[in-house]
Structure 1
Amino acid sequence: MAVELVGGALLSAFLQVTFEKLASAGIVDYFRGRKLNEMLLKKLNITLLTINAVVDDAELMQIKNQPVKVWLDAVKDAVLEAEDLMDEIDIEVTRCKLEAESQTRSTTSKVWNFFSPSSSSFDKEIELKMQEVLDNLEYLASKKDILDLKKSSGFGVGSSSHVSKILPSTSLPVDSIIYGRDIEKEVIFNWMTSDTNIHNNQLSIVSIVGMGGMGKTTLAKHLYNDPKIEVIFDVKAWISVSQEFNVFKLTRSILEGIIGSTDDSRDLNMVQERLKEKLSGKRFLLVLDDIWNENHMQWEALQTPFNYGAQGSKILVTTRSLKVVSIIQTNKEIRLKQLENEHCWQLFSKHAFQDENPQIDPDSKKIAKMIMEKCQGLPLALKTIGSLLYTKSSFVEWESILASEIWELSEDECNIIPALMLSYHHLPSPLKRCFAYCALFPKNYVFEKDIFNSIVVG
């Protein structure tokens, strides 16, 4: 499952490479010099742009939608065919240049020979194959509406209709105990209860940063629900932000969280005025969970009413992005790392054995710890795989899980893939290409830094 899923997800990276090749001077000059149909290039570019507009949404949908995954694979194959054709053209162009340079003719003659009309079988074959690729891609592009693929919203990836399928977080903690985060919790709690920035107008913001599944939201929940917090703040609200950063909707959600009822504001000005009224003179705590938006102007628009709160008000943010931390001008940054082995075992055992200190036979403990180590200190993986083991009573099944790849588990059994794939979708195109290159190597392959850098840069 993992290899197939990654293959589909890398389409956006392949498309960026194809766009660059299509725009290269060598390809354009070849078509012009050989008097080939330049409209093929223009139509191909437009068709690829049409596909590219919905590819982010498709990459998200493929996790649960098999027809979309089949469509992605077909598009990827067609795009690779187009790349192969352009590589053939590059080889032909290079061959012609080398032949021209080897002859003792004038510069004018070289240029004329290189770009002179040709009726060679190669040119005809290229034109014919390019038309076939274009026809195939146009057909695939025409199916995007049938598959209900939406244009990317511009912030994050995918359409809001599909993003909303990811459950928003709530302020209620699922677990009564949080493992391995006592130090971080104490640091943040001391900051939240201190008078930092009380003598200036700067917002007091703390950011919990870490990759998906690291436990950012869990830590924020335990802080938000700490009884000692209740007596410090006049009002508090928990907002699950996620990928769609709509200032009006978020402001209204914050207001509704504070007043405990539905708000009927019709525009941003109205809802911000109401929020300003509710926050004025009050010490508030606001948790903004899972922020992805990296647009500074949108953040400024959202935080305007916060400035009317009383001194000592605090904002707690969770995010995967260090750029978000910079944009919101955080005062305190907490970076979460993988859990230590002791805490890994406690969390894993709680879900695998319903006991953080289980009394089990040595063989079972040995295989359980080997499976635990595969989770590499990631709380989400420990919890998910531990819960899976709880449903497997047979020792043989445990051995099978140990021998298998975690990513081969179905989504019903393992929700790690959707959680971590979001991180991939938010990578810049150059890093997606780097990811595609890394995906060619086996798991746990050790890269030499200098060699890897030279290959990627080259």
Structure 2
Amino acid sequence: MPVLETLGGALFGAVLQMLFDKLDSHQVLGFFRGRNLDEKLLKKLKRKLMDINAVIDDAEQKQFTNSLVKEWLDEVRDVLYDAEDLLEQIDYEFSKTKLEAEFQTSSSKVYSFESKIIALLDDLESLLNQKIVKDFKIYSGVRSELGNKVSDKKVESTSLVAEEVIYGRNEEKEMIFTWLRSDTNDNKQSILSIVGMGGMGKTTLAQHVYNDPKTEEAKFDEKAWVCVSDAFDALRVSKAIIGAFTNSRDDSGDLEMIHGKLKKRLSGRKFLLVLDDVWNEDRNQWKALQTPLTFGAKGSRILVTTRSHKVASIMQSTYIHQLKQLDEDHSWQTFAKHAFHDQDSELKSELKEIGMKIVKKCQGLPLALETIGCLLQSKSSVSEWEGVLTSEIWDLPIEDSKIVPTLLLSYYHLPSHLKRCFAYCALFPKDHRFDKESLILLWMAQNFLHCSQQSKSPEEVGEDYFNDLVSSSFFKQITWDKEIYFVMHDLLNDLAKYVSGEICYRLGVDGEKGVSRKTRHISYVSGLSQYYTNLCDAKGLRTFITFRGWQCPMSIEELISNFKFLRVLSWRWCINVPDTIGDLDRDIPTTFS
């Protein structure tokens, strides 16, 4: 019997569905019967989980405006993950017992599963007895098919420019073209900085200019695009620039050598360099980076996108252009492009009135208009559109959070299986380029990929999930080094971190508080050892991924032995992985990828 779930489904809906499936499985039932354990405990656990499920969707919406509800949900999620770990242990013990019986061995360990289930029941009972639960609406309808549906939509390939048409930016484009083609007697390097808040479309505007045939009229000898992001380091960015100009990777570790190569490459040549998403406010770092760029020929241009006027000033920008919100007409065009799909004219007329009110709530922010438009494209009834318009999520105070209500609303309406896949991406550093296949493998290792269609493989299900997130504008396709990759907008990265809470933690990025008992997924981003203080507290850890060179004071053997629930262990940048990793005696099966 499927879990009851509303239109989008709570983030935990997929976890609850898995728990119900496990509780009804012949493995768990067979283990209890074979050991003469109390089957009534399984029924009690199922009833408690049904009680949680009945209120969890309403709680998820209320968490955005009530911090106590968010804390309650975090506690619920922690208990659900404990339940999942326990049922997987039981499943594994059942399989091992059958194997030992076949080979007439008797080394199977006896676990106190009954006492662990009783502890889970106590935790769930405590959560359900909290006063705040009385205010939750109880959902008792029939589960929407959307929760289990795997879309058949396929995402068409795109070029570097994600959006073929952008509305309301023609004047800015022409201004930039004029600057690119301008011919002055001043040999000083000319820098134009586009400044605006996140989601305003700075990068999109720069992409359109970079790829427009009009740019060729400026007759540049060299063109390069570099995404700088918040991790600004003169050596790293210099290597990225020389790599972009030469279309190759440079592993040199010496700034003098890199700058020599840049000087040689650019001397006497007219170039266009785009530095996208610059956060650096250290003038010395910019001066160190800028030195070899001054050897370019007259007419060379540097186009910068940044959220900060201070950054633009430190870079000694020749021109600073503040990107404004879209006006009402262009906002509607942006929204309508994504929202309307195959509606008949009569229905479209009804929806337009509601849509205009929704557009006003987006306040001219292109990313918000796009994501909410993508959300509403899948909703064809007036009541569904009105439900989005009247959502309490719009009232979330932006000044107290990095989260834009529009994006949060788009997330809230995702099916639960997509919510879980998206929230897992909170492990990624900002501006991280990822490929589809690798992310699908990570989801697969976490057992996120399920489909009622038996004919589909996990890889095919994962591709459908991935394409659904792309079509909903949660991922954007880019071309880098002639390869296809995907990225998340910074605001969506913030959203993923917000909804994942303590479950996902990025070492070196997410603050000095460190990991907690609730942490299930960790990524290694920085080499700062102080962030490892509480690493061993995450006893239920399922993921450990490295995005930088390994500098952890804990040995790899210690790391493995401390976390028996690991499903993903990735040392992409680690050179010396011990041979003993394949000989570990595990209590439960683990997938390494």
Q: Give TM-score, length-normalised by structure 2.
A: 0.41
- 5 Å matches for 1:45-444? 172-196=160-184, 198-200=185-187, 202-231=188-217, 232-354=219-341, 361-404=348-391, 405-406=393-394, 407=405, 408-409=408-409, 410=411, 412=422, 419=491
Q: Tell me how far apart the structure 1 counterparts of residues 162 and 375 of structure 2 sit (CA, whole Å).
A: 17
Q: Detail structure 1 runs of 4+ shifted over 3 Å in the superposition.
A: 1-8, 357-361, 411-418, 420-423
Counterpart Cα distance in 1 of 2:473 and 2:330: 21
- Encode CA deviations 1:106-140: one digit per residue, 9 max, x unaligned: xxxxxxxxxxxxxxxxxxxxxxxxxxxxxxxxxxx
Superposed CA offset, 1:207-243 (max 9, x none)? 1011111111111011111112235100010011111
Distance in 2, Cα, partners of 1:403 & 1:414? 22
- Give the deviation of 1:370 after TM superposition: 1.2
For 1:190-220, what per-residue CA distance to the aligned partner results, in whole angstroms no more than 9, with x for missing partners? Answer: 0111024x433x2200010111111111110
Paired letter, 2:175:
V
**1:190/1:422 CA distance change after superposition, 3 Å:** farther
Q: Quick one: structure 1 residues 228 and 270, their matched pair in 2 at CA, closer, same or farther if it must change by over 3 Å?
A: same
Call closer, same or farther: CA 1:354–1:303 in 2, change over 3 Å. farther
- Conservation of the 8 A alpha-carbon contact between 2:230 and 2:279: yes
Unaligned runs of 5+ in 2: 1-59, 79-157, 395-404, 412-418, 423-471, 475-487, 498-593
Over 3 Å counting, the alpha-carbon distance change for 1:270 and 1:377 in structure 2 is: same
Quick one: percent identity of the two aligned structures?
Answer: 50
Q: Which has the higher contact order (CA 8 A, sep 6+)?
A: 1
**Aligned to 2:227, what secondary structure does the other structure show?**
strand
Q: How far off is 1:362 after superposition?
A: 2.6
Q: What is the rounded CA distance, in whole Å, between the counterparts of 1:351 and 1:399 in structure 2? A: 17
Decide whether the 8 Å contact of 1:171 with 1:238 is kept in 2. no
Structure 2 match to 1:30: none
| Secondary structure in structure 2 of the residue aligned to 1:286 | strand
Query: For residue 148 of structure 1, what is the aligned residue in structure 2?
Result: none
Q: Which residue of 2 is the match for residue 23 of structure 1? A: none
CA distance in 2, matches of 1:254, 1:171: 21
TM-score, length of structure 1 as denominator length: 0.53
| Matched positions, count | 267
Distance 1:414 1:3 in 2: 24
Cα distance in 2 between the residues matched to 1:309 and 1:255? 13
8 Å contact kept, 1:205–1:315 = yes
Alpha-carbon separation, structure 1, partners of 2:263 and 2:66: 48
1:10-60 deviation line (CA, Å, top 9, x unaligned): xxxxxxxxxxxxxxxxxxxxxxxxxxxxxxxxxxxxxxxxxxxxxxxxxxx
| Residues 224 and 7 of structure 1: CA distance in aligned 2, closer, same or farther (over 3 Å) | farther
Are the equivalent residues in 1 in contact too, given 2:338–2:374 (CA < 8 A)?
yes
Cα deviation, 1:90-119, whole Å, max 9, x if unaligned, reads xxxxxxxxxxxxxxxxxxxxxxxxxxxxxx
Deviation of 1:369 after TM superposition, in Å, equals 1.2
For residues 223 and 308 of structure 2, the distance between their equivalents in structure 1, rounded to whole angstroms, comes to 24
CA 1:359/1:336 → structure 2, altered by over 3 Å: closer, same or farther? farther
Letter paired with 1:419: L
Give the Cα separation in 2 of the matches to 1:330 and 1:403: 43
Question: 1:171, 1:224 within 8 Å by CA — same for their partners in 2?
Answer: no
* Equivalent position amino acid for 2:265 in 1: K
Work out the CA distance in 1 between the residues paired with 2:208 and 2:176: 11
Q: How far, CA to CA, are the matches of 1:191 and 1:360 in structure 2? A: 46
Contact 2:340 2:348 in 1 (8 A): no
Bigger proportion of residues as helix: 1
CA distance in 1 between partners of 2:340 and 2:191 (Å): 39
Aligned to 2:12: none
Superposition deviation, residue 264 in structure 1: 2.9
Distance 1:364 1:349 in 2: 10
CA contact 1:213–1:378 (8 Å) conserved in 2: yes
Q: CA RMSD in A?
A: 3.3
Q: Distance in 1 between matches of 2:303 and 2:489?
A: 26
SS, match of residue 230 in structure 1: helix
Helix, strand or coil for the counterpart of 1:266? coil
